[in-house]
Structure formats: C-alpha cells, structure tokens
Homo-oligomer: A and B are copies of this chain.
C-alpha cells in the first residue's frame, strides 16, 4: 500500500491494521466499520472476531464540512492531535485513548477502541449521572494544563513546544465561530425566528462586546498552557467508571480558562436544556442540582489539584512568590467565567448548536431553554472580570432560572 496521502478505503484500513506490529495475530480475520461522520475525519473501527480485539484508525480529511459548506483544512491537525494525545496520555494515561501509532504521510492515528463508552453529551441528554466525572476531568485539566505551563515544565522547552503547537487554521475556526460571528449579523449564524429579539439585544450590547473583545484578545495572545482546545461534552467518552477525553485537534497554547470554561459551559447548556424535559418538576430539579454540583466539583477538583501540583511539583522557583498563586488562580477563574459564557452563547444561535437544546421538540420549551442559556452565558461574560468564587457562577445559573420561571 502506498503511503502517499489519500483517503483510505475500508480494505486499505484493514490491511494497514493487519500490518501493525504486536496488535493482531497473523491469522486474525479483521472487519472494518467506518463510524466517522465524514465531515472532518474518517474513523475506521477495526475488529478481530476471533480474539475480540479491536482498535480505531482515525484519518484526517483535507477538508471540513459543516452545515453543507466545505472548506480546505490542514492535515497537520492529525499530527497535532496525535502529539497532544500522547502528551496527555503521559500525564493521565487513564483519561485518554492510548495511541499505538501515528502515520504522518496518511494523517492517520491508530488508537484504543472506546466503543464501550458513550459520548457524554448523549449520556447527559439521557439524564445519566457520572459520579466520577468531576474528579476525572478536574484531574485531567489540572495535570495537562499545569505540566505544559511555565509552572510545570522547563521554560525554554515550553517555548519550543509552543512552536510545535501553532495551529492557525483550527484556531481561526474558534476565533470566528465563538468570538466574532455571534456578536454581529454574520451569515454563519443560525438563528431561530423566535430568538431574534434576544439576538438583536446581544448585537446592541456594547458592554458585552467589550468583554468578548478582551476574551478574544486573551485567546489570541496568551500562550499559557497546551489546551485541548475543544473540550465540550461531545469530546468526552464516558461510562460510569471511566472518562476518556478525545479529539484534541484544536490543541494549541492558550489560556487555561478556555478549556475549563468549555466543560462548565456544556454542563450548563444541558442544565438549560432541562426546560424541555417532560418529566415532573421534582425530577428536573434533582437533575439540575446534580449538574450544578458537578459544575462546582469540576472547578473545585481542578483548583485543588492544580494548587497541589504548584505546591509540590513546580520547576519555577519564582512561582513560590507569596500571593502569586492566589492571583493566578483567580485570573484563571475569571477567564473561566468569560469563556464559559462565550461557549454557551454561540451554541444557541451560532453556526453549530448542541443536541441538549436543539433536540427539544416542543418549540416553547426549546425557546425557554435557549433564552435561559443566553441569560446565563451573557451574565457570565459580563461578570467574569469581577468574579472571585465558583459559587458566583452557580448563583448566576440559579438566578437566571428563577427569573425565567418567573416570566413563564
């Protein structure tokens, strides 16, 4: 098989998998199922019926398709994804799929099959609870962000790593879709008619625009830590006793609050989506409480573990400066508020929505969920630079719910 880049056929994927050393036995009978959505990547699920062994071949396509449009997209993202996965794996081996191989020419990563997990967004929509999730994701973020920052690795090597993770094309997607399009009348937006007044209000909210411009500036310029870069609940495979973070093709050196904010925003989007749950008020209240407790625990675990790493494993003597750690954590918290807010807003009427809310069939209930998400998101953006505790974020969600219930 030639290794010049071309999109693999299933037969080629099987042949490639069979040729990998020490995975399948020579007499294995391999079958392939292409399970990607075809918009960005091919994803071959390769399995051997005899041994029960399986793995994933993920191949980047040289284009992106989103909502019918197609544009060219660098294959280098496969290198970035596989290098990020391997770095994350060295720090949290239990929390990412294991990478067996990376084939540069084919933009192909061979990794652990996680078919026994479900995508977390789907799990939350099905009202499942994941009691270990906050501990897992808090530890994942604390370790991956700390050990890639100037606090946790050699500061000269970090600069070289910044260079290896320069990722202009993927960053531009974020810069446009999260920080730009939602705040003006862009053709990339996808606005339901019943939301037009709320969107108009956002387009005219100058106080909000300033905060978004500042957050975008931070996203553009702050090479703080190697981010996952797209850490929503669709990038997390989960089951009761296991959490796996996948798809870090947006990885680059950016502000820590962007990853943390992504996790919290997607929990809060599901929280808003509870407006569409047909079960009784009590069940809804309980699930919402679970979500808010999880939001708080994600931050609390992150902060506790990050501070412990700082106290015990820093390589930077100047990081022991009194009060510096508190200043640093508070800035991360403030930016977490702001980025969480931006992530919520764009998912309501930007280019790409979330099933937690778009999946609500009843239009009135969907609209309530959308307005609640916008209320929480815009408030978080505006309060970010004054925030000093995760409890304030929880309070924003609660107060927005009460206000919406009041006018319903």
Instruction: Give A residues with C-beta under 8 Å from B.
Output: 150, 155-157, 159-160, 162-163, 166-169, 171-172, 175, 179-180, 206, 209-210, 212-214, 216-217, 220-224, 317-319, 321-324, 327-328
Contact = CB atoms under 8 A, between A and B. Distances in A.
Contact of A327 (B157, B169, B214, B322): B214
23 contacts: A150-B220, A155-B168, A155-B172, A156-B168, A156-B169, A156-B172, A157-B168, A159-B167, A159-B168, A162-B162, A162-B166, A162-B223, A163-B163, A206-B323, A210-B324, A212-B321, A214-B324, A214-B327, A216-B318, A217-B328, A221-B222, A221-B223, A221-B224
Contacts of A319: 213
B172 A327 contact: no
Contacts of A323: 206, 210
Contact of A322 (B210, B216, B324): B210
Given A206-B321, A209-B322, 17 more contacts: A150-B217, A155-B168, A156-B169, A156-B171, A159-B167, A159-B168, A159-B171, A160-B168, A162-B162, A163-B166, A206-B323, A209-B324, A210-B321, A210-B323, A213-B324, A214-B324, A214-B327
Contacts of A214: 324, 327
A141 to B, nearest CB: 17
Contacts of A212: 321
Contacts of A220: 150, 155
B159 A166 contact: yes
Contact of A180 (B169, B318, B328): B318
State the 6 A-B residue pairs at the shortest beta-carbon distance, nearest first.
A156-B168, A213-B321, A213-B324, A159-B168, A163-B163, A163-B166
A401 B335 CA distance: 40
A219 B359 CA distance: 46
A210 B223 CA distance: 20
A227 to B, nearest CB: 13
Q: Give the most central of A169, A212, A216, A317: most B CB within 10 Å.
A: A216
Nearest to A150: B220
Contacts of A169: 156
B321 A209 contact: yes
A64 to B, nearest CB: 15
